[in-house]
A = this chain, B = another copy of it.
Amino acid sequence: MNNSLGKLFTITSFGESHGKCVGVIVDGCPAGLPLDVTDIQPALDRRRAGVGAASTSRREKDGVEILSGVAGGFTTGAPLCLLVRNEDVDDSAYEKIRSLLRPGHADYTARVKYGGFNDWRGGGRFSGRITAGFVMAGAVARKILNTLGIEIITHTVEIGGIKAKTVSYEVIKKKALKDPLACADAAASIKMAALIASVKEKGDTLGGIIEGIALNVPVGLGEPVFDNLDGALARALLAIPAVKGVEFGSGFEAARKKGSENNDPFSIKDGKIVTMTNNAGGILGGISNGMPLVVRVAVKPTASIALEQSTVDIKKMKETPIKVEGRHDVCIVPRAVPVVGAMMAVTLCDFAMRAGLVPRVLK
């Protein structure tokens, strides 16, 4: 079950970048959820290539098709099959360099693992395009989480070393969705855009950091010791191509703090137990503590750069320079922002079900 994730709310990914389609099976969705394409399409649209400098010129409509699991406008309890077709496919740039290992890509590892039978066109199964399936599943998960009042917000907090300043969750909600780089700090976003433009001109690429926040998460999600909420989120987020690190709350900074600085003191607010700070990022002992769940992921710079690089021609087994053509995002971060939200939603939905919070039939 390499391509499946989740225990009660399970998603199974399929499809390739340049094959017929990209899709997902959602198994375990409760019956009775009203669902049609308009619930899913907006998330897909956010993930699509934009018009800005950051993104690829490949243009896919990404119109979602619901092939199973819905009848009369409601989920039936049967597995959902959701897919988008690949339409704007062009293999030519890949054909030319088929035996050259693109640095930073999975060409080499996939070729060895699958004996060269892997679909190499557009990165095949290793393309960021498969995250269209993640986003469709995420949209379903989000609708379920909405019934519990759980809300997920995601935004760009850093691109190419330019950091967004910290703002309130309210501001993020208002601004990130509208910003072309999904950044809630407009001033930083402008600087990031300028950097992207300049780096693009040089044929180079950028990475960044995305933050995800889940609000109104009830206390008690997470199943220690191996199905911890943080472990499950990390696993889900590392399935997004280009993610190289995950941290919760104060994360790596926690390693530099003293216990007296990093501990979050408990107090009572409006009759509820809260912590006065949130260095834990909403998770204690692998279980949600009711505070905002805060996770950050490091996204490496796009591996496809226009500059010449050193590599190996694996057929000839000799070193050779490579220039990667094709259509690529200079910085994938803005398009990955909704994917981070989708994987958070999928994971939280599974754990909410495991905690017994989601009825098997929604009414």
List A residues at the B interface (Cβ < 8 Å).
1-8, 10, 12-16, 19-21, 23, 25, 27-28, 31-32, 67-69, 71-72, 74-81, 83, 101, 103-106, 108-110, 112-115, 117-119, 121, 124-126, 130, 158, 160-161, 199, 204-209, 219-220, 222-228, 230-232, 234-239, 241, 244-268, 271, 273, 275-276, 279-281, 284-289, 298-305, 307, 309-312, 314, 317-319, 354-356, 359-361, 363
Contacts and interface: CB of A to CB of B under 8 A. Distances in A.
18 contacts: A1-B4, A1-B27, A3-B27, A3-B226, A15-B81, A16-B71, A67-B83, A103-B264, A104-B280, A104-B284, A109-B222, A112-B219, A207-B259, A241-B285, A245-B254, A252-B298, A255-B298, A267-B310
Contacts of A241: 285
A79 to B, nearest CB: 4
Q: Quick one: which of A125, A252, A257, A285 has the most chain B CB within 10 A? A: A285
A80 to B, nearest CB: 8
A286 B204 CA distance: 23
B103 A225 contact: no
B78 A119 contact: yes
A68 B16 contact: yes
A112 B219 CA distance: 7
Q: Quick one: which of A284, A307, A355 has the most chain B CB within 10 A? A: A284
Nearest to A8: B354
Nearest to A243: B230
Contact of A228 (B32, B69, B238, B311): B238
Given A12-B79, A239-B228, A247 B252 contact: yes
A20 B67 contact: yes
A293 B220 CA distance: 34
A222 to B, nearest CB: 8
A115 B359 CA distance: 11
